[in-house]
Amino acid sequence: MTQSTPVDYTIQPALPGHTKSIETVLDEAFGLGRQTKTSYRLREGSQAVDGLSFIADLDGRLIGSIQFWPIIIGGETSALLLGPLAILPVYQGFGVGLRLIEDGVVAARKLGHKLVLLVGDEPYYTKAGFKPFNSHSVSMPGPYDPKRLLFLELQANAADGVSGLVLAPHRAKR
Ligand SMILES: CC(C)(COP(=O)(O)OP(=O)(O)OC[C@H]1O[C@@H](n2cnc3c(N)ncnc32)[C@H](O)[C@@H]1OP(=O)(O)O)[C@@H](O)C(=O)NCCC(=O)NCCS
């Protein structure tokens, strides 16, 4: 269980005016070099999915953020790539990250999305229901640890039979 938080924060839709503060949170949470990751390459040339970017606000201070990006798996399956998810270091460990995931997933399901992928720490994302792919049928372009490629079905059996390379929509041939 997530420990109860001592801070009175709210989850809100991210607005264009939040962009700079979100970058600050990402820099502080991930440190330098974050933009070399395979997930970043997948986001290049795309835009975060409308209605699926959220921030955690504490008395007007942006303390965390989450985004979801469009991807295509194997040239035919539309899905979401979760990330980046980041919480300002001083506010980590109070459940804000899991709350952002949960609210994001609820919003994604409402919008009709069926499948979410991410590359991240399995022990953490398992808490939000993510699972590793048991086979290597789905792969990411660029370097990554296959054990960190996780998925969450927003619709029953949405991952069944899904295979192939994950690409940004504009790079995928359908
Ligand atoms: C990872 C991150 C988003 C988690 O957010 P958070 O608000 O600190 O996490 P929460 O408070 O929601 O975590 C709740 C639980 O997950 C655990 N947890 C947090 N990070 C974890 C990790 N990397 N691996 C395993 N467990 C983790 C906590 O110990 C807590 O466990 P408990 O409920 O058993 O006490 C945040 O720490 C962060 O921004 N880290 C740096 C950037 C990053 O790594 N982003 C994720 C990319 S994969």
Which residue, by CA, sits nearest to atom 21 of ligand 1? 124
Q: What is the pLDDT of residues 7-34, one digit of tens each?
A: 689 999 999 999 999 999 999 999 877 7
Q: How far is the CA of 174 from the centre of ligand 1 (A)?
A: 36
From the CA of 99, give the closest atom in ligand 1. Answer: 12
Name the fold adopted by 10-171. Answer: Aminopeptidase (3.40.630)
Distance CA 56, CA 11 (A): 5
Residue 110 phi/psi, 5-degree rounding, is -60, -35
Count of positions (residues) in the chain: 174
Domain boundaries, the chain: 10-171
Q: What is the pLDDT of residues 147-162, one digit of tens each?
A: 999 999 999 999 999 9
Q: How far is the CA of 76 from the centre of ligand 1 (A)?
A: 32
Look at residue 167 and tell me whether its pLDDT is greater than 90: yes
Distance CA 166, CA 126 (A): 21
List, in sequence order, every residue forming a beta bridge with 70; answer none if it has no partner.
80
Q: Is 27 in the pocket of ligand 1 (CB under 6 A)?
A: no
